[in-house]
Amino acid sequence: MTDNAKQKLIFALDVDNLEDARSWVEQLQGQVGVFKIGKQLFTKCGPEVVNLVQDGGADVFLDLKYHDIPNTVAMAGLEALRLGVKMFNVHALGGFEMMAKLVAEVDKVCPRGNPDRPVLLAVTILTSSNEDTLRGVGIDRPVEVMVPKLAKLAKDAGMDGVVASPKEVGLIREACGDDFAIVTPGVRPTFASQDDQKRVTTPGDALRAGADYLVIGRPISAASDPVAAAQMILDEMQAALEGS
């Protein structure tokens, strides 16, 4: 009943070793369809942890947020493609040329429509950021202006979607339309704390707003019963997908 929701639930593997990663994959394989591998875990374990998740029957979101000169990002993206990940991301702030080069190189190896082609995502504004954070790096425009601007830039460059706070999903849909993937971290069910996320909403509200995938970590990993917590989140997601 919750298979549709399961494929939209991404669990953040915020651990630093293969043993803990394996434990979470084994524990949550019934509730989670995609596991997010970030900088710490990938730097420590490399492609082996990607293989571990895939061998467990789940997909991988490789969350390394590439941001470099266009050719460097494109070549890194091709290696992510060869790893067989479901999705990976770059920083939209890297600019149009960087994203367009990545798309062009991936197109050569794995054209659109190929089931092995990963979802190419651009990070708009990190969910830990707010207006003060942006001003601190010289960006005077507010979050609600920057996020759709960066999302539109990513779409124009040929990217498949963005990573953005659920608070900006509506703005992104307005700027980019419905045929554009939105992955939302900063999602917190009512039973969990906000931790260091500043722009948050509940799983059900995020999906109703138009998000395609939800990234959730500590509300599951810090729960006294992680499997039960994940199931509660799945149930809420499924209810939202069914319109109830």
The model's pTM is 0.92
Mean pLDDT along residues 136-145: 89
Q: Is residue 196 over pLDDT 60?
A: no
Mean pLDDT along residues 158-177: 93
Q: Which sign, positive or negative, has the C-alpha torsion 84, 85, 86, 90? A: negative
C-alpha Rg value of the chain to the nearest Å = 17
Count of beta carbons in the 10 Å neighbourhood of residue 93: 17
Mean pLDDT along residues 8-17: 97
The catalytic residue among 65, 86, 101, 167 is 65
What does pLDDT average to over the chain? 93
pLDDT grade for 200, boundaries at 50, 70 and 90: low
Q: What pLDDT digit, counting tens, does each position of 62-105 carry? A: 999 999 999 999 999 999 999 999 999 999 999 999 999 999 99
238 by Cβ neighbours in 10 Å (0-12 / 13-18 / 19+) ranks as buried
- The token pair at 115 is 């089931």
Mean pLDDT along residues 168-192: 89
Identify whether 65 is a catalytic site residue.
Answer: yes
Bridge-partner residues for 87, per DSSP? 61, 119
Bridge-partner residues for 36, per DSSP? 12, 61
